[in-house]
Amino acid sequence: MQSICVYCGSRVGCGDGYGQAARQLGRALADQGLELVYGGAAIGMMGLIADEVLAAGGAVTGVIPEALKQKEVAHAGLTELLVTADMHERKRLMAERADAFIAMPGGLGTLEELFEILTWGQLRFHEKPIGLLNTSGYYDDLVRFLDGTVTESFVHPRHRAMLTVDATPEGLLERLWV
């Protein structure tokens, strides 16, 4: 395990809790010598986690589509910034570069990225661990819904089991390794 792809919000959400969790995860990655692979932006949760990894002496690779470089304000201080032609190439590169995936609290983009990587796992395109950081119970309803997809026989239990959920960055990292 050498690099972790983190999907997270281009905003920081309400209160300080989500931003704190982004910094906490960034610090934990750097402490464990894990490279961060993410969307390359300097804003929101994305900017906070990248700044924290860099401040702790870790490596960060950002992957951003040309069209979003201005809008999402590409981070200028990354170890490596890859600029892609489009969103599909961005997501493919992020997936290729990572040994595991973590989704933190975020919006529609984060949800799309999480579900894409889950479905790629379901199709056996990869067998890399996938974690959901459920900071402040942000994803409680989603986790309940996912459990319901199994109860209602739309999702196989082993595909639901691909997603490891934990409330803390340290707890999630530890469980992803097992």
- Residue of 11, 69, 159, 160 interacting with ligand AMP (CB under 6 A): 11
Among residues 92, 83, 82, 33, which one has the least CA distance to residue 59? 33
Alpha carbon distance 137, 133 (integer Å): 9
Dihedral sign computed on CA atoms, order 67, 71, 24, 115:
negative
The H-or-E segment that residue 81 falls in is: strand 80-84
Residue nearest to ligand AMP (CB): 109
Q: In the range 36-95, which residues lie near ligand AMP by CB under 6 A?
A: 39, 41, 68, 72, 87
Minimum separation from the CB atom of position 105 to ligand AMP (A):
9
Closest contact distance (angstroms) between CB of 92 and ligand AMP is 11
Does 19 interact with ligand AMP (rule: CB under 6 A)? no
CB of residue 94 vs ligand AMP: minimum separation in angstroms?
A: 10
Nearer to ligand AMP, 26 or 39 (CB): 39
Separation of alpha carbons 149 and 93, rounded Å: 30
Instruction: Please tell me the distance from the alpha carbon of residue 157 to that of residue 172, in angstroms, as a whole number.
Output: 20
User: Which residues are near ligand AMP by CB under 6 A?
Assistant: 9-11, 39, 41, 68, 72, 87, 106-110, 112-113
